């Protein structure tokens, strides 16, 4: 069944004859007759008595309210999609990793809200693996995550590289290793580590690093907040391997310091992920544009 067949049926019922219905639909009378015949063939029965004044059969009487409902739903669907593609989206949902939430996202959000105040902006801070899952499940419109093998470019998925950064060691200013210019693997593995919770790509990266060192990771605590990392490190001799973007304002905290590794962890690549169909929607297009404009490497990332 096609929507134009339903519309032809409703128009014939409304006008009372095929000639007037064809004129109203701006098609030929033979076309409208074929559309209704095809509909009747699919339903397996006649819907109309073809008399001078068209009348409904018993089946036609039964089908009429259903046809009207189908037509209303079709018109509503067209209207909603037209509004969506014109930028009248009700909400924009985004999943981002913690370091993006803390330091990169505020100017993006401010600019977005200024242009689309009617769009409810929802931001959820998640680990990369969880963010990827909710994007695939259609629960968010875009995700800013750490690159991994979980996402590859395709006809459906759109990836934008944002920036690359090194992994550094966060430690207390009173920690014995705070006097070192670099932290060697031998020194690193002597101390307990705080790591991100399961589902965060940073945990996988840290575990893989320790595996390559041939050392056992002594993870005493799992967290999912940059502030929580700082609080735990500030009052302990524990260490944490973190991306540099997570400690951009560390110079303002006298209780904490950062040291590079003498044997570096692989560079972390941060990406924006969305889908091709979502980029047809103006608010999502604009959000992507803002991310590409504002989420860039900071010039002081290497100045530790």
Residue-level pLDDT at 303: 43
- Mean pLDDT, the chain, rounded, equals 88
CATH 1.10.10.10 range(s) for the chain read 3-85
- Is residue 154 predicted with pLDDT exceeding 80? no
Q: Is 297 exposed, middle or buried (0-12, 13-18, 19+ CB in 10 A)?
A: middle
Of 243, 245, 288, residue with least CA distance to 266? 243
CA dihedral 53, 57, 61, 63 (to 10 degrees): -110
Compare 284 and 267 and report the one with higher pLDDT.
Answer: 284
pTM of the entire predicted model: 0.71
Query: Which residues, at least 6 apart from 145, have a Cβ–Cβ distance to it below 8 Å?
Result: 95, 96, 97, 128, 131, 132, 151, 201, 270, 271, 273
H/E run at residue 74: helix 58-85
pLDDT for 302 equals 43
Q: Determine the pLDDT at residue 26.
A: 85
Q: Where in the chain is the domain with CATH 3.40.190.10?
A: 91-164+269-294, 167-266
What is the architecture, at CATH level 2, of domain 167-266? 3-Layer(aba) Sandwich (3.40)
Give me the mean pLDDT over the 196-215 stretch.
92
Q: Which of 163, 176, 178, 182 is nearest to 243 (CA)?
A: 163
Specify the CATH class of 3-85 in words.
mainly alpha
- Give the torsion through C-alpha atoms of 232, 238, 241, 244, to 10 deg: 60
- The Cα-based distances of 139 to 3, 90, 163 in angstroms read 30, 14, 25
Beta bridge partners of 243: 167
Tens digit of each residue's pLDDT (9 = 90 or more) over 232-283: 999 899 999 999 888 887 878 899 999 999 988 888 899 999 999 889 889 9
* End-to-end C-alpha distance for the chain, whole angstroms: 67
Instruction: Please report, rounded to a whole number, the percentage of residues in the chain having pLDDT higher than 90.
Output: 44
Name the CATH superfamily for 91-164+269-294: Periplasmic binding protein-like II (3.40.190.10)
Q: Are 146 and 215 in contact (CB under 8 A)?
A: no
């Amino acid at each position: 069944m096609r929507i134009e067949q339903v519309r032809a049926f409703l128009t014939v019922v409304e006008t009372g004859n095929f000639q007037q219905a064809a004129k109203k639909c701006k098609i030929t009378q033979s076309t409208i007759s074929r559309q209704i015949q095809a509909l009747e063939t699919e339903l397996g029965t006649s819907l109309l008595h073809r008399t001078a004044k068209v009348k409904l059969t018993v089946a036609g009487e039964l089908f009429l309210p259903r046809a009207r409902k189908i037509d209303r739903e079709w018109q509503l669907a067209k209207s909603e999609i037209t509004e969506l593609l014109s930028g009248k989206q009700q909400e924009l949902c985004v999943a981002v990793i913690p370091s993006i939430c803390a330091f990169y996202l505020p100017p993006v959000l401010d600019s977005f809200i200024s242009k689309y105040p009617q769009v409810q902006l929802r931001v959820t801070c998640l680990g990369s693996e969880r963010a990827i899952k909710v994007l695939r499940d259609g629960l968010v419109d875009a995700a800013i995550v750490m690159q991994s093998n979980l996402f590859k470019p395709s006809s459906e998925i759109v990836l934008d590289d944002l920036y690359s950064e090194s992994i550094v060691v966060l430690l207390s200013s009173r920690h014995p290793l705070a006097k070192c210019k670099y932290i060697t693997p031998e020194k690193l593995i002597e101390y307990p580590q705080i790591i991100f919770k399961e589902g965060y790509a940073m945990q996988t990266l840290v575990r893989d690093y320790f595996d390559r060192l041939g050392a056992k990771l002594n993870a005493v605590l799992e967290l999912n907040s940059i502030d929580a990392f700082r609080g735990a490190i500030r009052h302990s001799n524990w260490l944490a391997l973190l991306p540099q973007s997570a400690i951009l304002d560390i110079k303002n905290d006298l209780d904490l310091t950062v040291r590079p590794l003498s044997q570096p962890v692989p560079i972390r690549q941060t990406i924006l992920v969305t889908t091709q169909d979502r980029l047809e929607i103006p608010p999502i297009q604009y959000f992507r544009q803002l991310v590409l404009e504002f989420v860039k490497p900071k010039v002081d990332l290497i100045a530790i």
